[in-house]
């Protein structure tokens, strides 16, 4: 779990740095945002003794946390998860389309998940 938290923290720093200095690299920002949510979600799953599958599908990682009443997420948050999830593979390889969201908006989505998930995992650290 500690490894996941450190990796997620690094992904957060990467996304923040990209938004600050290279916001035009929205694919890379989106990928880092997707990764940080994925790793924080997996850290919370592990902390709570739930399986953390080797997948990149954020919605599938978050649903067990909601079902176990570990976290509450509304429809807008699940929509944000689906948006960020698309950066795991699709945006990096399949399109040159203009983004629907700015790099800053993607980072805000990711920060919302970080702010909910990180404390839930950190609470289990020794």
pLDDT, one tens digit for every residue, the chain (126 residues): 899 999 999 999 999 999 999 998 988 999 999 999 999 999 999 999 999 999 999 999 999 999 999 999 999 999 999 999 989 875 555 556 667 889 999 999 999 999 999 999 999 887
Q: What is the pTM of this model?
A: 0.93
pLDDT at 88: 87
Question: Looking at residue 100, what is its pLDDT?
Answer: 84
* Residue 1, pLDDT score: 87
Q: What is the pLDDT of residue 125?
A: 85
17 token code pair: 């740095």
Between CA 121 and CA 40 the distance in angstroms is: 8
Query: If you count them, how many residues does the chain have?
Result: 126
- CA-to-CA separations, 111 to 23, 34, 37, 108, in angstroms, rounded: 16, 11, 9, 5
pLDDT of residue 95: 57
């Amino acid at each position: 779990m500690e490894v996941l938290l450190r990796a997620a923290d690094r992904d957060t720093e990467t996304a923040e740095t990209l938004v600050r200095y290279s916001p035009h690299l929205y694919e890379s920002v989106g990928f880092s945002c997707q990764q940080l949510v994925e790793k924080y979600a997996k850290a919370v799953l592990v902390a709570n003794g739930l399986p953390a599958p080797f997948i990149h599908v954020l919605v599938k990682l978050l649903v067990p946390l909601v079902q176990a009443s570990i976290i509450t997420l509304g429809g807008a948050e699940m929509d944000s998860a689906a948006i960020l999830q698309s950066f795991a593979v699709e945006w990096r390889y399949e399109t040159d389309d203009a983004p629907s969201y700015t790099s800053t908006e993607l980072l805000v989505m990711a920060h919302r998940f970080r702010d909910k998930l990180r404390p839930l995992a950190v609470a289990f650290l020794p």
